[in-house]
Structure 1
Amino acid sequence: MTTTMSALPARAPRRPATGWFAPGSWSLFAVRRGGRFLVAIVVLVTAAFLMLQLIPGDPARESVGATAPVEAVNLRRHELGLDQPLWVQYFRFWGGLLTGHPGTSITLRMPVADVIGSRFPATAELAVITLVVVLVLAIPLGLLAAALTRGGRRRGLELGFTSVTGFFSVVPEFLMGVGLVYLFAVSTQLLPVAGRGGPTSYVLPVAALSIGSTAALARIVRAEALGVLGNDYIRTARAKRMPAIRLYLRHALPNLMTSTLTIAGLFLGSLIAGTVLVESIFAWPGLGMTIVDSIRSKDYPLAQTLVVVYGAIVLGINLVVDVLLAILDPRSTIKES
């Protein structure tokens, strides 16, 4: 006796998985991103250790002087642990990072943690001020450009905006810094060229870091704004003759903030990385100038730790931005599920 298909019990529909670590949830996305972050940190630490080992020169000789006898150089090398096998030095470097005591600076003769602690505020201050300047300038500029050029209007203005912002967005920060030094410090002597003193000392370094980022972010804001301004609810608001200021600030701007702030977070990582050369140009007493000096002098403990710190900050910012975007826009986690 056979059973017909209609006699079979209907299968209950499968309920979507719920919970903190359900497929497509932001928490599972955060765990996966966190795992990738840890793998990237391991690669970063290994690369920082090996790359500086390949730089020509002898840190022990740099420490005791070029005219010191060989015995003094060998003694100094033993004190620094440079006569030990490479793998021993590698795991000792890991131990110092994990315990928060990555050694003593060879040239400054003080703990690396103290050097970083005393100079990090200057770098963080420069990066945060630059980010604020970029947001304050780029968002209104991009929104205004979108409002004036929407629907193919004002082709000349659109061409000028894209050309100018495209040019400044590809100019490296250090080249921008050199040009600003020549224009405002050497030729006209309007602004100080070096040091961290009064408010005027911030103008040139912040400008060198912010001009390119402002141009790049303004282009992105304009492109996003053009998409928002083409939506039906914007056309409906225009049909009701809503004032332009209210239309752009109340309806268009909030819909831009998620993507704009996400991109701004990524810009913060690049700004911190860009401070390395900009601080050297303007003699800014932060980590950027310190890392250049430490690499030049073969100060292994300081240089290796600073490379790891810079890389970890950039990776950490990218991780936080990805997780925040997943929380604000769950659709961004679909590809990860």
Structure 2
Amino acid sequence: MTTVSAGVRRLPTDSPWLRFALRRAGRLLVSVWVLLTAAFGMIHLIPGDPVRAALGPTASPELVAARRAALGLDDPLWQQYLHYLGDLFSGRFGVSMTSGLPVSQVIGDRLPATLEIAGYAFLLALAVAIPVGVGVAVLTRNGRHRHAELAFTTTSVVLAAIPEFLVAVALVFVFGVSLGWAPVAGRSGPESYVLPVLALAAGPAAVLARLVRVEMLAVLRADYIRTARAKRLPSWLVYLRHALPNALTSTLTLGGLLLSAMVAGTVLVENVFAWPGLGSTIVQSILAKDYPVVQGVVLVYGLGVLLVNLAVDVALALLDPRSTIRES
């Protein structure tokens, strides 16, 4: 039998962290390729001629032919695909058919507004969901305060079931039109962020609060929590140091998914509040049949979702290395 010397160093690929990083990187590359290919195929699967649709029915055949040649739409499909990938890796997203501006400039001008309301909404959802979920779990543990549990469950289910669009319309009517407490359109100052952020955060906050409560109740029944109580530690120390970190793993996973959903939800919310972000841009571009802009915005949204999911995987690996690395 051949033995391996104890002095021989293990190959770097034996590292579980390296295997985890390679798997995640491979999945990300495949997902990005699928996204890029789907965005490319979107233009060619749409019925009709996008150039004719963008220029209008009165445009001359010569103008349509010139624009198609300028966009490379007369080349073979495989050649268009290679040019498309080459332009993307060079940072070129094409030119808007309606404004004539580079798509990268259009996206760069509108992306910060979308990231702002999505980021603020996510932080607000966490700031509300975690203390509410923990507080209700502590209040209702061991079957106590059934009325509080019923009120919390009913409220959270209703809020989670209402689409962001309807929440936004209700906020506009109540706080903008009826009470006049906040502006209902545009990005004019700090007060203009209030209603869009609330519209995006309401549903995710309700979902996260329910999950935090369920996870917290399970943790409070664990043996190590009973041991901590037996040591007569202060209640706040038991809840914050011993129970809360172990209850947040699933919350972080769902939170990452909800952040992706928030970014996608900006499409409708931005149109309700006339918010100058990517959501309103993609709707305007679809109506104007400005497909290069639509294609670029779809890529940005898709890449955003992929990066958020990657960040969640890395965060989970850091919080719970043994289980996460083993499962990967």
**Same fold? TM cut 0.5:** yes
3-state SS of 1:193 partner: coil
Task: Check conservation: 1:146, 1:222, Cα contact below 8 A.
Answer: yes
Q: Residue 80 of structure 2 is aligned with which of 89, 104, 107?
A: 89
- Relative distance call for 1:176 and 1:44 in structure 2 (3 A) is same
Residue number among 24, 30, 39 corresponding to 1:48 in the alignment: 39
Q: Distance in 2 between matches of 1:292 and 1:18?
A: 57
- Determine the C-alpha separation between the residues in 2 that align with 1:329 and 1:242: 25
How many residues are paired up?
327
Q: Which residue of 2 is the match for residue 249 of structure 1?
A: 240
Q: Which letter does structure 2 place at the counterpart of 1:313?
A: G
Amino acid at match of 1:293: Q
Distance between the aligned counterparts of 1:171 and 1:236, measured in 2? 42
Deviation at 1:50, TM superposition (A): 1.7
The answer to whether the 8 Å contact 1:24/1:336 transfers is no
The Cα of 1:277 is off from its aligned counterpart by 1.7
Is residue 2:192 matched to residue 1:201? Answer: yes
> Is 1:72 aligned to residue 63 of structure 2?
yes
| Secondary structure of the structure 1 residue equivalent to 2:104 | helix
Cα distance between partner residues in 1 of 2:34 and 2:129: 35
The whole-number CA distance in structure 1 between the counterparts of 2:71 and 2:251 is 47
**After the TM superposition, which residues 267-282 of structure 1 pair with which residues of structure 2 at under 5 Å, given as runs?**
267-282=258-273
Pair 328,176 (structure 1): closer, same or farther in 2 beyond 3 Å: same
Post-superposition CA distance 1:122-145 (Å, at most 9, x none): 111111111110111000000001
2:145 aligns with one of 154, 170, 191: 154
1:57 positional shift: 4.8
Aligned to 1:163: 154
More displaced, 239-248 or 76-85?
Answer: 239-248
Counterpart secondary structure, 1:104: coil
Shift of 1:285: 0.9
Q: Percent identity?
A: 55
Secondary structure (helix, strand or coil) at the match of 2:167 reads helix
List per-residue Cα deviations over 1:63-116 (Å, max 9, x = no partner): 434322333222222222233333332222211111101211111211111112
Q: Does 1:129 align with 2:120?
A: yes
Comparing 136-145 with 50-59, greater Cα deviation is found at: 50-59
Distance 2:74 2:135 in 1: 62
Deviates more, 1:56-65 or 1:116-125: 56-65
Deviation string 1:256-285 (CA, Å, 9 cap, x unpaired) is 344433432332222112212211221111
Query: What TM-score does the superposition give when structure 2 sets the normalisation length?
Result: 0.89
Unaligned 5+ runs, structure 1? 1-9
Aligned residue for 2:95, secondary structure, equals: coil
Q: Choose the corresponding residue for 1:228, options 219, 228, 236.
A: 219
Q: Determine the C-alpha separation between the residues in 1 that align with 2:233 and 2:74.
A: 75
Contact 2:317-2:325 at 8 Å conserved across structures: no
**Structure 2: runs of 5+ lacking an equivalent:** none
**8 A Cα contact 1:24 1:333, kept in partner:** no
Tell me the secondary structure at the aligned position of residue 201 of structure 1: helix
Q: How does 1:8-19 map to 2 (within 5 A)?
A: none
Q: Which region of structure 1 is more displaced relative to structure 2, 83-92 or 205-214? A: 83-92
Asked if the contact 2:121–2:200 (Cα under 8 Å) also holds between the matched residues in 1, the reply is yes
Instruction: Report the more deviating stretch, 190-199 or 245-254.
Output: 245-254
Q: Quick check: 1:266 aligned with 2:254?
A: no
How does 1:325-336 map onto structure 2 within 5 Å?
325-333=316-324, 336=327
Residue 293 of structure 1 deviates from its aligned partner by 1.7
Kindly state the Cα deviation for residue 308 of structure 1 after the two structures are TM-superposed: 1.2
Is the Cα–Cα contact under 8 Å of residues 64 and 76 in structure 1 kept in the other structure?
no
Q: Please report the RMSD computed on the Cα atoms of aligned residues, expressed in angstroms.
A: 2.7
Q: Specify the code of the residue in structure 2 equivalent to 1:96.
A: D
Quick check: 1:325–1:332 contact (8 Å CA) kept in 2?
no
The question of 1:313 aligning with 2:322 is answered no
Query: Separation in 2 of the partners of 1:121 and 1:178?
Result: 23
* TM-score (normalizing by structure 1): 0.87
Give 2:303's aligned amino acid. A
